[in-house]
Chains A and B, each alone.
Chain A
Amino acid sequence: MLDENPAQKPGGVWRMILTDVHFWVPAIILLAGLAVLHWIR
């Protein structure tokens, strides 16, 4: 079963992550945090 799992292939992992809305919540917050840090430093 594991051999057939697309999550085992690098491309498959990234496709699953990038199409997961849960990923974009922390990713966007991280980018916003970096922008705030750059502005206030």
Chain B
Amino acid sequence: MKLQSRHLLGLDGMSKEDITLILDTAISFKEVLGRPLKKVPPLQGKTIVNLFFESSTRTRISFELAERRLSADVVNFTALGSSVSKGETLKDTARNIEAMKIDMVVIRHASSGAPHFLTRVVEANVINAGDGAHEHPTQALLDMMTLREKYGKLEGLRVCIVGDILHSRVARSNIYGLKTMGVEVSVCGPATMIPRNIEALGVRVYHRLEDVIPQVDALNVLRIQLERQKSGLFPSLREYHRFFGVTKEKVDRAPKPITIMHPGPINRDVELSADLADGPHSVILEQVTNGEAVRMAVLYLLGTSN
């Protein structure tokens, strides 16, 4: 059993079998994470470069830990203060790094399609850690692992993604992955932040949390970015919090408890109230642990496949 592609670029078009393989493999790695010695040897001797053109401490640390725990050698490249700020292109950066004989690249970039571009330029396996607003496959995979853990299955679950869907790669990857696994997906947010034609992806659109809360098992709450307010997409954080923020009083109206998810970092009491984030139905910390396991699984499956 192995993955169909030698890269992980996104969940759009990934088969149910591949997603299941990754989730099942992640379970084994979660067990490794429970041991006192969290290190295993399968990627010994492999060199992995974390090419992060967008600052992101937590995702980079998560990947780096996963890589080191698989016994790989790790090199970190962040854009600031690097050759890129001196005008070197992505193509040249990648080629130079490859000339130093690396095996795998984990890339996060502000442009959709940057990882795809990279696969045309380097021989190494490419893992997408987030490209523009396009995809963030490992995030969606860890979200699915968390849901599957909580409910024992994915098929038939109802999940709503809440927030700025327009700019969210987490939303897109989740939509593609969840739909493949038979989950009923909806989105909720201000109309200015829901992309046109999103219904064509098989997703129901809501503009009021009150309408969607009685209909779902879990809410995946996205972080709202301040810059979006400046570009005229919503009037103020206060208004956003009042009408689109996920709060205990809104969620308590549901017939049964709703699982609360968030990719982090949380703007407490903006998109998600602190009491829900820390509450009994929040799986946010589980998501982080599962993120480690999922990334180990992906690195393992791709790194031992050729």
The answer to whether A and B interact is: no
- A interface with B by C-beta (< 8 Å): none
- B interface with A by C-beta (< 8 Å): none
